[in-house]
Amino acid sequence: MIIDLHSHILPGVDDGSPDTETSLKMLRMASEQGVEVQVLTPHYYPWNESIPDFLARREAGLKALKDAAGDTPRLLCGSETAFFAGMSRKDLDPLCIEGTGTLLIEMPFESWDSRTVDEIAALSLDRGYDVVLAHIERFIHYRGNLRRLQELSRLPLFLQINGEAFRSLRKRRTALWLAKMEKAPVLGSDAHNCTTRRPDTAPARRVIEKCLGRACLEEMDRAAEYLTGGLRKPESGEQTRNE
């Protein structure tokens, strides 16, 4: 089962696809690359709008897409929710990937402090969400974040890495290093359009298979399948690849 866990394909909902024509083209590209389940994760910024307002916009985008869509991968709605202080005290269930407790979180683009780690820990341990940290490779260059990531990696979290990081010669080393960390990584295209940030699941998978092996790719697929409502939760031993 090939799953793309992170994308901005819904038309006119965020800075991703601007219209249904682009969305359909993106879905065709994903489908041609073997994607069977496409998770739609528009940005949710809590300081811009309420959750009900966001859900209404997301629903309108989904309706427009479904009205126009022919053969597409299976579509699942979720969100890419921006981190905010106090989020662990809110009801975030409607922002999870539908039918699951999987919450894709975009961390702050700055150095994280202990409160950031505590907030994520509360979401994971107290609230029981399956927290996925979106495109984790984009945050580790901020001062001190590598240490914070080591603290976070003691939690039952999932780290999502963008396909682009595996494709880029400049970023590949970091992406592969992250993918080898002890927690199960998951792949996402984070596709926004058909050109500069296009669906790229297949080329990213080729790099992962070549550099880390088929078993690693299958482990990533199992994690993604769990996060979208299939399979049981990977045991910690199954999440660990460096032992």
Residues found near Fe ion in the complex (CB under 5 A): 80, 190
Closest contact distance (angstroms) between CB of 190 and Fe ion is: 4
* 119-124 contact pairs (CB < 8 A, 24+): 119/83, 119/85, 119/86, 119/87, 119/88, 120/83, 120/152, 120/155, 120/157, 121/152, 121/155, 122/88, 123/87, 123/88, 123/92, 124/155, 124/156, 124/157
Give me the residue whose beta carbon is nearest to Fe ion.
190
Centre a 10 Å sphere on the Cβ of residue 111 and count the other Cβ atoms it contains. 12
Closest contact distance (angstroms) between CB of 80 and Fe ion is: 5
Q: Which is nearer to Fe ion, 137 or 190 (CB)?
A: 190
Closest contact distance (angstroms) between CB of 93 and Fe ion is: 20
Q: Which is nearer to Fe ion, 160 or 239 (CB)?
A: 160
- Work out the angle at residue 35's Cα, subtended by the Cα atoms of residues 67 and 74, and round it to the nearest 5 degrees: 35
Q: Which is nearer to Fe ion, 106 or 216 (CB)?
A: 106
Separation between Cα atoms, residue 107 and residue 144, nearest integer Å: 14
Q: Which is nearer to Fe ion, 80 or 200 (CB)?
A: 80
Rg, C-alpha atoms of the chain: 17
Q: Which is nearer to Fe ion, 212 or 224 (CB)?
A: 224
Closest contact distance (angstroms) between CB of 241 and Fe ion is: 25
Specify whether the CB–CB gap between 116 and 108 falls below 8 A: yes
